[in-house]
Amino acid sequence: MQVQVINKQIREHSIENIINKRDRKKDKKPLQAYAASWANKDRLYDSVGYTIFIVLPTSGCQWATESGGCTMCSYIADSPLCEISDENLIEIFDNEWKKQLEKTDITSHENVAIKLFVSGSFLNKNEVDVKVQEHIFNVFSKYDNIKEVIVESKPEYIDEDSLKWLASIIPDKIFEIGIGLETSNEDTRLNKINKGITNKSFERAVDTINSIDEYDIRAKAYLLVKPILLSEKDALEESIESAYYAKKVGVKRLAYCPSTVHGGTLMDYLWKRGSYNPPWIWTTIEIIKEVRKNVDIPMIMDTAGFGTRRGPFNCKKCNAKLKSLIIKSNLEQEIPQELEEFSCECKNKWYADLEFSKILNTTTNPKS
């Protein structure tokens, strides 16, 4: 339980510093400034399409404020850390939506997906009131070419009535709920990530989603590559095992999130002291190869932070090329031949890390 205690202390200290810094500023940051939206080419279930990403500021993840939250997550630090009225949140959403409409004629794209993020769980009514949920989904319902609407939620906020009600507003679209499973290993999830959910609660949530026949509602699992206190080899093995588990439970899509170090987290605390490194890009490639060949559901490997000081890294010679090949793999849902055969001199260091990190009981590695 020591990890949870330290994690909460670090989180509380980080939030206190953020609040003090904001209070000292004469010009307060407007709520709208905490929101963001962008769009790009992305993989949908059945095709490559146009995806709009919208990040809405809410009062903050309830798990983070109550327990310190997950050891790698900085979402709470990016939220306004105050109550936001329903009217304000609706206005913020409308402004972000308007920005996207000004950038492109959405109706000109045949297949569109919406990925909607908040500071915690979209289905938590204390964070996003039903009035706001209804307004947002009513906007999406007006566009026939929006094929998928994706939100995130912890399992405890997923219930049949809420899912049916929201799905009824967008009855002709795929409604996907992303759940942060992170790993199928409960010890890692509870004692290294501090996620606060069990396999049983995850399975119950997926069962609830899959039990609804009237609408096309699907579960997605987010899987974390290399939490703190795991060797490179253990992280690789757990990431692959977790895909098999999620598929068996009934998840319809996987989204891997290789660790990137964010400020104000326990991961950041350990990284600054030389006690943690993000995963090798080679590790993410090995996951892609294994899962694409053996787990027959769509899978995405996020490439945010690749090649940066705080993110997944190989060497300066191959970082950028491998990132582009992984993006290609995401779009095509295949393993490009070039990625299958790609090699670099830094790969031997990765092999050494896999072989010796567990023996040496280290979560860092010999990257240069």
* CATH code of the domain containing 281: 3.20.20.70
In a domain, 365, yes or no: no
| Per-residue pLDDT tens digits for 324-337 | 999 999 999 999 99
- pLDDT at residue 364 greater than cutoff 70: no
Q: Where are the alpha helices (DSSP H) in 116-256?
A: 130-141, 160-169, 186-191, 199-210, 232-249
Percent of the chain at pLDDT > 90 equals 82
In a domain, 268, yes or no: yes
For position 363, what pLDDT does the model report? 61
What is the C-alpha separation between 155 and 162, in angstroms, rounded? Answer: 13
Helix, strand, or coil (residue 162): helix
What is the C-alpha separation between 22 and 35, in angstroms, rounded? Answer: 17
For position 144, what pLDDT does the model report? 97
Arithmetic mean of pLDDT over the chain: 94
For position 32, what pLDDT does the model report? 93
In a domain, 16, yes or no: yes
CA trace torsion 276, 278, 284, 287 (10° rounding) = 30
In a domain, 368, yes or no: no
- pLDDT at residue 367 greater than cutoff 70: no
For position 362, what pLDDT does the model report? 59
CB–CB of 312/280 below 8 Å? yes
In a domain, 252, yes or no: yes
Q: What's the farthest any 2 CA atoms get from each other in the chain?
A: 57
What is the C-alpha separation between 198 and 185, in angstroms, rounded? Answer: 9
The residues that bridge with 40 in the sheet, in sequence order, are 51
- pLDDT at residue 170 greater than cutoff 90: yes
- pLDDT at residue 366 greater than cutoff 80: no
Dihedral sign of CA atoms 249, 328, 177, 196 in order = positive
**Residue 300 is part of which domain span?**
2-360
**Distances in Å between the alpha carbon of 178 and those of 116, 169, 331?**
10, 19, 19
Nearest to 223 by CA among 335, 324, 300, 277: 300
In a domain, 366, yes or no: no
Total number of domains in the chain: 1
- pLDDT at residue 52 greater than cutoff 70: yes
Q: How many CB atoms lie within 10 A of CB 267?
A: 30
| Per-residue pLDDT tens digits for 247-276 | 999 999 999 999 999 999 999 999 999 999
- pLDDT at residue 240 greater than cutoff 60: yes
